[in-house]
Amino acid sequence: MSSLHDISWADYSALSIEGKVPLLARPDGMPFHTLFAQQFGRKELDRICDLATKIRFIAKSRDGMDFLQGLLSHKRAMIYFTQPSSRTFLSFLSACQILGIKTGEVRDAAVSSEFKGESREDSIRTFSSYFDLIIMRTQEKGLAERMAHALSQSDRPVPIINAGSGKDQHPTQALLDIYTLNRSFEKKGGLANRTVMYVGDLARGRTVRSLSNLLTNYEGMRHVFVAPPQLQIGDDIVAMLKARGNEVVLSDDMRAWLPRVDAVYMTRIQDEWDATKGESARIDTSRFKIGAAEMALMGANAILMHPLPRRDEISTDCDSDPRAKYWRQMRNGMWVRTALIAATFDCDDMILAWRSRQ
Amino acid sequence: MSSLHDISWADYSALSIEGKVPLLARPDGMPFHTLFAQQFGRKELDRICDLATKIRFIAKSRDGMDFLQGLLSHKRAMIYFTQPSSRTFLSFLSACQILGIKTGEVRDAAVSSEFKGESREDSIRTFSSYFDLIIMRTQEKGLAERMAHALSQSDRPVPIINAGSGKDQHPTQALLDIYTLNRSFEKKGGLANRTVMYVGDLARGRTVRSLSNLLTNYEGMRHVFVAPPQLQIGDDIVAMLKARGNEVVLSDDMRAWLPRVDAVYMTRIQDEWDATKGESARIDTSRFKIGAAEMALMGANAILMHPLPRRDEISTDCDSDPRAKYWRQMRNGMWVRTALIAATFDCDDMILAWRSRQ
Amino acid sequence: MSSLHDISWADYSALSIEGKVPLLARPDGMPFHTLFAQQFGRKELDRICDLATKIRFIAKSRDGMDFLQGLLSHKRAMIYFTQPSSRTFLSFLSACQILGIKTGEVRDAAVSSEFKGESREDSIRTFSSYFDLIIMRTQEKGLAERMAHALSQSDRPVPIINAGSGKDQHPTQALLDIYTLNRSFEKKGGLANRTVMYVGDLARGRTVRSLSNLLTNYEGMRHVFVAPPQLQIGDDIVAMLKARGNEVVLSDDMRAWLPRVDAVYMTRIQDEWDATKGESARIDTSRFKIGAAEMALMGANAILMHPLPRRDEISTDCDSDPRAKYWRQMRNGMWVRTALIAATFDCDDMILAWRSRQ
């Protein structure tokens, strides 16, 4: 039966970021690492989405929860967050708990500083000695790949999941965004030939970069990037999308485009990356916010997304609008991460075959 | 069969603090929130005490522990403590573990500060997306009610338990105090027509306010408030107790009253609430402490309580006296919280019906 | 059948450190505390090693993991680390999880400071109220013994495991070192008549003191202490070893001894104990480091150990040499701690009797 592990590991290997990480093709018994969004092709995305939907369904019953919690109750995971994010942390924690996985954690600077005396490789190898899975989030670009490579040379090469690495990658965020789009358009003709508008700080947010990239796996996508000129999307992304035959529009007029798109993906200003303090505050972002008036411009079948946390980009007035999907999107993150972890440990076939005993 | 949920939700609704929180009557399927002590009437108090006693008995055997841990093993709880209290935290954690509930936590300032960029409502809604129960402790008065109300308008209105909110409310502390009194007088004629003496910082401690209030559910109670004049109980409590037909005495002479009371409830000076630093230190509190000499004045059946942590209000000499109940009182907190959580998820009837298979 | 509890409690009692702690002989039902390395004699060491090996074997199968996780699933442990050590923390956490024990934790200064208002005895008694086992690590010498004594006078005298107390004791580190030596020489004639060389900061590291002490339980051991003169091993240890008939050599020439020893135990410079800042940095430690050139001098059957974390005492070049045992040594810590906890709760016979159902 087909499984997530049918992924082409030659492709995987070829995707190594900046040529620095020689990711090897995966022989039998080698771990499945989740390192960057681009390693997932259409086949893998469909598999993850199917799994997430099935898990969501199974989890509705006590019977089903008992089944899920029994799947990996013999496994233990280390959640190692040197770049804090309680939201992502709790999402991964919940995913582990749904599958019965026990967890250990490092998630604040005070505790993680103890590891500073030793090399990152030694810290990760320590975790691999005690745990069966490492979920890591760091400031450092490319670290997950480097650690996966280092572990591959030890005798406990446990799988690594990148839960965010600097401005660089956040592959599970991209997966949950894809799943939310998929789920939203499932009964409305599917996710193809859609227009997605991204709004806000497109220069510095990694989610839009990863999501637009993954959307090239679907046919006939159009991308509308709406931002103040200083925060517009990078040329590299525009070039990549065009090279793959996707339509691209750059604009600074959100209201003009609102009636014409299928999905609106809002983002917050990432002022934590400001080169000089207060830099972002001087940019006029007033025309890149959504309230009741803007919702009125959106199509009846269009959806509104946001990776959260939000500031004032989306007014709380919008929360009860059925087109607002950001809370569901967050909960989808838990289901997608559960699916990903299950697949990492080869439970995907067992889950898809599950039938209630009742 | 009767259950905790027979509570009158019209009354519940009417109890909203300061009129700010319109708590609705609870239709089927709505969550049971624990927000303030006064929501519990005699019927609910008896139910919680019976449940706690049964759980305590069940937990003695391996057989019983397996039963308890299976009850809610499919549930997950968020313990969100922005006002730290390791004692209360560990008590709730233990209660969750006894019922098989998996937990996530935020319990220090460093981690919880991440949520500062977003509104409290968004943080709580995040937790409700991942978890089935939110146990929260905050500095902010009325926050638990406000959050329960906010969640009631979302599509995941999970139950909230207030684990302490500012100087205001600490309902589970009041429940464990009631349970300790109940248990102590169970075989000595029950908890009615008793004289309870409260000693220490009665002006600023919330536990005495809540406990005296709940004790009006029992017949013929007499309340003796003993404190330095500056730390005496508030007029509002005195008026409330008198309005409900309870006898009230205010005094600053602990030793005179010691021989005449059934229970002594000691509290520590809450100097963290001092308006000016060192204010409390200038008050003479030497006559509001208990040692061997004071124990000698107490009746043979009287009991000594303290919410802990203690400083020097109770000498360690008293610890081995069988009338000293404060350590048992603390452990009672774990059992009462287990009972409350079980009732919140409608496991109360199942627990009360349990018989050992051995 | 014999069990760990056959330990002579008269001896145990007599071993009280510096005469300050009157540890009582253990009647039936009294808890088994792990307080200092010297409480373990040869019989107990063999038992722990056998248990660890069996557990390691059992844990290889799903079947076995289910068995182990069911053994103590009704128990809860408090991991109380006021002296942080994430490595030791995660090792104990993993050990608890392998046996199905649920855990509560205090492991950073911010949280543990809350307990400062009360006495250490009250804090520990609080933990004993909620939990069935206390694993504690502190800066304070002799604290674990003092707490075990205090609990022995309460009505919940739960077992205590010392996970490191100041410069003084770290008994489970000594146990895992013994187990690593045992395991390494198991098929090569066993752990007797061996020469062990200790290298580095022998003056201030507690692991070498404890390990050399425990090795006197094995026949014909020779100890070579290699360090700069300022960091040489204490006279008390030399005297103790000689009194027990062990050969002792003091040297500052590591390379000369490398070809002649069975085990090399490297340690890092413990500069956190420097009396004046930078004191250690002025010592020439260049001749007390191991790289490929030094490995070439070691015998083919010799082994290289390190308690980790390392700095530059051992080059990463050595990691893939089969004689380098420090990563295995760390993982051994998890197995030994699992064995110790299992024995503490009298599961040792059940584990040794386990046969796969498959």
Q: Would the pLDDT of C94 be above 70?
A: yes
Q: Which of A163-167, B80-84, C146-150, C166-170 has the lowest mean pLDDT?
A: C166-170
Chains that touch A (3 or more CB pairs under 8 A): B, C
Structure tokens at A84: 């804090």
Residue B199 is predicted with a pLDDT of 98
Rounded Cα distance, C76 and C276, in Å: 42
Interface contact A129-C331, CB threshold 8 A = yes
When scoring B71, B72, B74 by the number of chain A Cβ atoms within 10 A, the one with the most, hence best to mutate, is B74
Interface contact A154-C327, CB threshold 8 A = yes
Residue B180 is predicted with a pLDDT of 98
When scoring C87, C96, C310, C321 by the number of chain A Cβ atoms within 10 A, the one with the most, hence best to mutate, is C87
Residue B23's pLDDT band (cuts 50, 70, 90): very low
Q: Is A42 helix (H, G, I), strand (E, B) or coil?
A: helix
Out of C62, C110, C330, whose CB is closest to A126? C330
Residue type, A131: F
Residue B8 is predicted with a pLDDT of 45
Residue B140 CA: distances (Å) to CA of A22, B143, B147, B166, B209 = 53, 6, 11, 5, 18
Residue B17 is predicted with a pLDDT of 42
Chain A partners within 8 Å of B102 (Cβ): 97
Residue C255's pLDDT band (cuts 50, 70, 90): very high
Cβ atoms of residues B272 and B262 within 8 Å: no
Residue C146's pLDDT band (cuts 50, 70, 90): confident
Residue A127 is predicted with a pLDDT of 95
Q: Which of A109-123, B87-101, C183-197 has the lowest mean pLDDT?
A: A109-123
Residue B116 is predicted with a pLDDT of 56
DSSP for C167-219 reads: TTB-HHHHHHHHHHHHHHHTTTT-SSS-EEEEES-TTT-HHHHHHHHHHTTST
Interface contact C104-B93, CB threshold 8 A = yes
What does the mean pLDDT of chain A come to? 88
Residue C21 is predicted with a pLDDT of 40
Active site residues of A: 87-88, 116, 137, 170
Query: C311: how many CB neighbours lie within 10 A of its CB?
Result: 14
Out of C108, C118, C153, whose CB is closest to B310? C118
Cβ atoms of residues A10 and A132 within 8 Å: no
Q: What is the mean pLDDT of residues C308-333?
A: 95
Q: Chain C: nearest CA to B355, how far in angstroms?
A: 18
Query: C340: how many CB neighbours lie within 10 A of its CB?
Result: 25
Query: C9: how many CB neighbours lie within 10 A of its CB?
Result: 17
Identify the helix (H) or strand (E) that includes residue A239: helix A235-243
Structure tokens at A77: 């995971």
**Higher local confidence (pLDDT), C270 or C59:** C59
Query: Is-cis flag, bond preceding A309, omega within 30?
Result: yes
Q: If you count residue pairs, one on A and one on B, with CB atoms under 8 Å apart, how many are there?
A: 64
**Higher local confidence (pLDDT), C244 or C10:** C244
Tell whether B316 is within 8 A of chain C (Cβ). Answer: yes
Task: Say whether pTM exceeds 0.90.
Answer: yes
Q: How many helices (H) and strands (E) does chain C have?
A: 14, 9
Residue B21's pLDDT band (cuts 50, 70, 90): very low
Q: Strands across the sheet with C160-165, in order?
A: C102-106, C76-81, C133-138, C160-165
Rounded Cα distance, B89 and B83, in Å: 10
Partnered with residue A134 across adjacent β-strands are: A78, A160
Q: Where do the domains of chain B lie?
A: 4-169+332-352, 171-331
Q: Which of A37-46, B21-30, C112-121 has the lowest mean pLDDT?
A: B21-30
> Roughly how many angstroms between the first and final C-alpha of chain B, as a whole number?
26
Interface contact B94-C125, CB threshold 8 A = no
> Roughly how many angstroms between the first and final C-alpha of chain A, as a whole number?
26
Residue C28 is predicted with a pLDDT of 63
Active site residue C87: yes
Residue corresponding to tokens 């939990």: C131
Residues B122-142: pLDDT tens digits?
999 999 999 999 999 988 888
Rounded Cα distance, A206 and B67, in Å: 47
Chain B partners within 8 Å of C122 (Cβ): 308-310
Q: Would the pLDDT of C200 be above 70?
A: yes
Q: Chain C: nearest CA to B320, how far in angstroms?
A: 8
Q: Which of A329-333, B68-72, B285-289, C26-30 has the lowest mean pLDDT?
A: C26-30
Partnered with residue C198 across adjacent β-strands are: C225, C265
Residue C273's pLDDT band (cuts 50, 70, 90): confident
Chain A partners within 8 Å of C90 (Cβ): 78, 104, 126-127, 130-131
Q: DSSP state, A352? A: H
Q: If you count residue pairs, one on B and one on C, with CB atoms under 8 Å apart, how many are there?
A: 64
Q: Would the pLDDT of B20 be above 60?
A: no
Q: Which of A295-309, C54-68, C146-160 has the lowest mean pLDDT?
A: C146-160
Residue type, C348: D
Residue A25 is predicted with a pLDDT of 41
Rounded Cα distance, C39 and C189, in Å: 26
Chain A partners within 8 Å of B76 (Cβ): 94, 97
List, in order, residues 6 or more apart from C174 with CB less than 8 Å away: C37, C40, C207, C210, C211, C213, C214
Residue C10 is predicted with a pLDDT of 47
Residue B82 is predicted with a pLDDT of 86
Cβ atoms of residues C106 and C133 within 8 Å: no
Q: Is C54 helix (H, G, I), strand (E, B) or coil?
A: helix
Active site residue B170: yes
Q: Would the pLDDT of B16 be above 60?
A: no
Q: Would the pLDDT of A43 be above 80?
A: yes
Residue A110's pLDDT band (cuts 50, 70, 90): low
Residue B39 is predicted with a pLDDT of 84
Q: Chain B: nearest CA to C106, how far in angstroms?
A: 8
The superfamily in CATH containing domain B171-331 is Aspartate/ornithine carbamoyltransferase (3.40.50.1370)
Task: Tell me, yes or no, if the two domains B4-169+332-352 and B171-331 fold the same way.
Answer: yes
Interface contact C94-A126, CB threshold 8 A = no
Residue B115's pLDDT band (cuts 50, 70, 90): low
Active site residue B137: yes
Question: What is the bridge-based pairing of β-strands A133-138 and A160-165?
Answer: parallel
Q: Is A246 helix (H, G, I), strand (E, B) or coil?
A: coil
Q: Which of A52-61, C109-118, C122-131 has the lowest mean pLDDT?
A: C109-118
Residue C2 is predicted with a pLDDT of 38
Fold classification of B4-169+332-352 is Rossmann fold (3.40.50)
Find which of B4-8, B353-357, C264-268 is predicted with most confidence, using mean pLDDT: C264-268
Residue C205's pLDDT band (cuts 50, 70, 90): confident
Q: Which of A134-148, B45-59, B289-303 has the lowest mean pLDDT?
A: A134-148
Q: Would the pLDDT of B160 be above 90?
A: yes
Tell whether B57 is within 8 A of chain C (Cβ). Answer: no
Active site residue B87: yes
Q: Would the pLDDT of A22 be above 50?
A: no
Identify the helix (H) or strand (E) that includes residue C52: helix C42-58
**Higher local confidence (pLDDT), A7 or C320:** C320
Q: What is the mean pLDDT of residues A212-227?
A: 96
Q: What is the mean pLDDT of residues C177-190?
A: 96
Q: Is A251 helix (H, G, I), strand (E, B) or coil?
A: strand
When scoring B106, B130, B156 by the number of chain A Cβ atoms within 10 A, the one with the most, hence best to mutate, is B130
Residue B165 is predicted with a pLDDT of 86
**Displacement of CA A71 from its chain's centroid (Å):** 23
Residue C109's pLDDT band (cuts 50, 70, 90): low
Burial class (CB in 10 A: 0-12, 13-18, 19+), B332: buried
Residues of chain A numbered 201-220 and touching chain B (CB < 8 Å): none
- Which stretches within chain B are classed as H helix? 9-14, 42-58, 62-71, 86-98, 109-112, 120-130, 143-152, 171-185, 206-215, 235-243, 254-257, 292-297, 326-344, 348-352
Q: What is the mean pLDDT of residues B161-167?
A: 88
CATH code matching the domain that covers C4-169+333-352, chosen among 3.40.50.720, 3.40.50.1370, 3.40.50.150, 3.30.230.70: 3.40.50.1370
Nearest to C258 by CA among C306, C222, C310, C299: C299
Closest CA in chain C for residue A122: C309
Percent of chain A at pLDDT > 70 equals 89
* ipTM of predicted complex: 0.92
Percent of chain B at pLDDT > 90 equals 68
